[in-house]
Amino acid sequence: MHAIRYLRLLALLGALFFSGPAAGEGIAFSRGTVQLVPPGKVPLSFKVEFAITPAERRQGLMYRASLDEKAGMLFVFNESALRHFWMKNTPLSLDILFFTKEQRLVHIVPNAEPNNDKVISSFAPVQYVLELEAGSVSRFGLELGTALVLPAGSLIE
């Protein structure tokens, strides 16, 4: 009898922990502008939503059907570590850019497949991850070594 109660409690906690907002329930992300500066090129400005809190990072761009050109989401972490993302419940393809704590681009995953549970990992410890519309990397000439310039003030929680 106790085992059944325990399993029910675990199931309930699991459902609460792993469920995110349903489509349309989204989080009100803070917004701002970042610049990307490819080596030897002019800076490019992008309007982004910031995913700073754990809840914001869990939600990410899930359920979004489109992104404007030169728009995206910047995931901001408190420290550098290997980062793992997926495209679950994300119906649009994205370019995923991984930046070190020094704000240098060290890994690019172009055209991540929509609605996919496959884990996409950084190859090195990173502190920032930028998701842009698929094709942005090639369209804007972004490459390894590109600098990420954040707005004034701290974004780290």
Cα 48 from Cα 45, distance rounded (Å): 9
H-assigned helices in 25-154: 54-59, 136-139
pLDDT in tens, the chain (157 residues): 443 343 333 333 333 333 344 444 568 999 999 999 999 999 999 999 999 999 999 999 999 999 999 999 999 999 999 999 999 999 999 999 999 999 999 999 999 999 999 999 999 999 999 999 999 999 999 999 999 999 987 666 5
Question: Closest by alpha carbon to 53, among 33, 35, 34, 28?
Answer: 28
Indicate the pTM of the whole model.
0.82
The pLDDT value recorded for residue 8 is 37
The token pair that represents 66 in the structure block: 């489109």
The pLDDT value recorded for residue 84 is 97
Cα 70 from Cα 92, distance rounded (Å): 15
Q: What is the CA radius of gyration of the chain?
A: 17
Q: Domain 28-149 carries which CATH code?
A: 2.60.120.1140
Backbone angles phi, psi at 54, to 5 degrees: -55, -40
The domains of the chain are located at: 28-149
Helix (H) or strand (E) holding 11: helix 2-18
